[in-house]
């Protein structure tokens, strides 16, 4: 899901292959207009129907997410539940219901943080994402959402079988759709201590994600073609993981590259990014010292983590 940042890429150590991908014609330096838009890897296909896409519950969810309006979410979930009962065979309806629950898990409103509110959404996200993937086994984007849900579920319940199931879902998705699903490998390891090998796995995933995006120009996983600020939001995640690793110049390049994009001026989270560039040394120092209580806020734990990419 990370835009192929050639600027950042040239600075990343030990990634000569990425630099080569960047320099090649049709690589990510090519303007978006020059490549076919909304192309996905062979074998990846959604199973959306006009009925589902135009369904009022789906339209309402899309509008609420674009507006970053969490106050509409409860009504969106209720409408999607009714729709899923009426149209049980529609991938898109189950997928949207699962994602609306995921939105609540990631960006809870006041009063939604406690386990009694989170548990029904964790179950709702898991069950409807699973159903959507069964209905449409070629929509490998679903692995990016379902895998982390299962891993977190398993970690919370200390249930190794569920953790393993989550990683198996992620691996299947990554094999089919790396430019989209690798991003989720970052999400499941980014909270590990920076010296832990698991954290290095998160870092490796973002580097691989950049590579996968360079290989598929025009893929909506890597551009702003479907999600209005995918590129800017991804830069925050990328910069934050690089800063946590202490990779100063790479982090700065990742943040700065987002500022160069055509959609930066219309992005609501410009101050977050600018502050990160200005306070980069402090951010790195707070990650590096041994006191976890002063660690800086990170994109993957923010209660605006969906909004970074999805708010219009
Ligand atoms: C780094 C940017 C980024 C973040 C963060 C992000 N998304 Fe997305 N989201 C995307 C991209 C890219 C797509 C894929 C569009 C496509 O390929 O069809 C997408 C797709 C979606 C879709 C639409 C699926 C469809 O086919 O209509 C929903 C709903 C969604 N995301 C919800 C969320 C929620 C909820 C969160 C927070 C838990 C979130 N997203 C976090 C970038 C992001």
CATH number of the domain encompassing residue 56: 1.25.40.10
> Could you tell me if residue 40 is inside a domain?
no
Helix (H) or strand (E) holding 109: none
Which of 98, 230, 261, 303 for a ligand 1 pocket mutation test, highest count of atoms within 8 Å of Cβ?
Answer: 230
Residue 31 lies in a domain: no
Indicate the pTM of the whole model: 0.90
In angstroms, rounded to a whole number, what is the distance separating the alpha carbons of residues 106 and 302? 8
Do 157 and 241 reside in the same domain of the chain?
no
CB of 1 closer than 6 angstroms to any ligand 1 atom: yes
Asked if 114 and 151 sit in the same domain, the reply is: yes
Domain with 209, as residue range(s), is 1-26+199-312
Q: Ligand 1: does its nearest atom lie under 6 Å from the Cβ of 106?
A: yes
Overall number of domains in the chain: 2
- pLDDT 10s digit of each residue in the chain, 312 long? 554 333 333 233 222 222 223 223 333 333 344 455 678 999 999 999 999 999 999 999 999 999 999 999 999 999 999 999 999 999 999 999 999 999 999 999 999 999 888 999 999 999 999 999 999 999 999 999 999 999 999 999 999 999 999 999 999 999 999 999 999 999 999 999 999 999 999 999 988 998 999 888 889 999 999 999 999 999 999 999 999 999 999 999 999 999 999 999 999 999 999 999 999 999 999 999 988 899 999 999 999 999 999 999
In a shared domain, residues 7 and 57 = no
What's the gap in Å between 289 CA and the centre of ligand 1? Answer: 34
242 occurs within a structural domain:
yes
Same domain, yes or no: 62 and 7: no
Domain boundary among 123, 145, 176: 176
- What's the rounded Cα separation, in Å, for the pair 95 and 176? 18
Kindly compute the dihedral angle of the four CA atoms of residues 284, 167, 174, 33, in this order, to the nearest 10 degrees.
-50
Per-residue pLDDT, 203? 92
Contact 186, 210 (CB under 8 A): no
CA-to-CA distance for 296 and 306, rounded, in angstroms?
Answer: 19
Count Cα atoms within 13 angstroms, Cβ side, for 140: 24
State which of 118, 128, 226, 310 you would mutate to test the pocket of ligand 1, scoring each by most atoms of that ligand within 8 A of its C-beta: 310
Q: Report CA(144)–ligand 1 centroid distance (Å).
A: 10
Phi-psi group of 246: left, alpha or beta (phi > 0 → left; psi -120 to 50 → alpha; rest → beta): left
Binding site membership of 98 for ligand 1 (Cβ less than 6 Å): no
Q: Does residue 32 belong to any structural domain of this protein?
A: no
Same domain, 108 and 218: no
Could you tell me if 5 and 83 lie in one domain?
no
Residues 210, 134: one domain?
no
Whether 181 is covered by a domain: the verdict is no
272 and 163 in a single domain? The answer is no
Torsion on CA atoms 102, 107, 112, 116, rounded to nearest 10: 40
Measured in degrees and rounded to the nearest 5, phi and psi for residue 77 equal: -65, -45
Residues 264 and 149 in one domain: no
Q: How far is residue 211 from each of residues 92, 117, 260, 312, measured CA to CA in Å?
A: 29, 39, 20, 27
Residues ≥6 apart with Cβ < 8 Å to 305 = 106, 107, 299
Q: Residues 127, 245: one domain?
A: no
Q: Are residues 269 and 163 in the same domain?
A: no
- Based on the fold, state whether residues 211 and 295 are members of the same structural domain: yes
């Amino acid at each position: 899901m990370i835009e192929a940042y050639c600027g950042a890429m040239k600075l990343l150590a030990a990634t000569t292959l990425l630099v080569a991908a960047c320099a090649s014609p049709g690589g990510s330096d090519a303007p978006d207009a020059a490549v076919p838009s909304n192309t996905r890897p062979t074998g990846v296909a959604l199973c959306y129907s006009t009925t589902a896409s135009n369904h009022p519950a789906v339209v309402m969810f899309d509008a609420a997410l674009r507006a970053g309006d969490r106050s509409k979410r409860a009504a969106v979930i209720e409408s999607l539940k009714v729709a899923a009962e009426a149209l049980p065979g529609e991938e898109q309806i189950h997928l949207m219901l699962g994602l609306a629950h995921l939105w609540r898990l990631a960006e809870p409103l006041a009063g939604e943080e406690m386990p009694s509110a989170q548990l029904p959404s964790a179950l709702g996200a898991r069950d409807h994402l699973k159903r959507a993937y069964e209905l449409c086994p070629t929509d490998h984007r679903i692995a990016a959402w379902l895998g982390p849900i299962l891993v977190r579920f398993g970690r919370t319940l200390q249930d190794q079988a569920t953790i393993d199931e989550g990683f198996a879902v992620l691996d299947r998705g990554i094999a089919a759709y790396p430019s989209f699903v690798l991003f989720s490998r970052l999400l499941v390891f980014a909270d590990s201590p920076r010296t832990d090998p698991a954290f290095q796995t998160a870092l490796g995933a973002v580097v691989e994600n950049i590579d996968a995006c360079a290989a598929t120009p025009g893929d909506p996983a890597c551009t702003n073609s479907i999600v209005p600020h995918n590129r800017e939001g991804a830069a925050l995640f990328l910069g934050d993981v690089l800063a946590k690793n202490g990779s100063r110049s790479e982090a700065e390049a990742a943040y700065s590259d987002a500022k160069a994009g055509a959609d930066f001026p219309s992005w609501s989270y410009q101050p977050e990014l600018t502050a990160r560039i200005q306070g980069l040394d402090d951010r790195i120092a707070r990650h590096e010292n041994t006191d976890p209580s002063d660690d800086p806020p990170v994109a993957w734990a923010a209660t605006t983590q969906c909004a970074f990419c999805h708010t219009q």
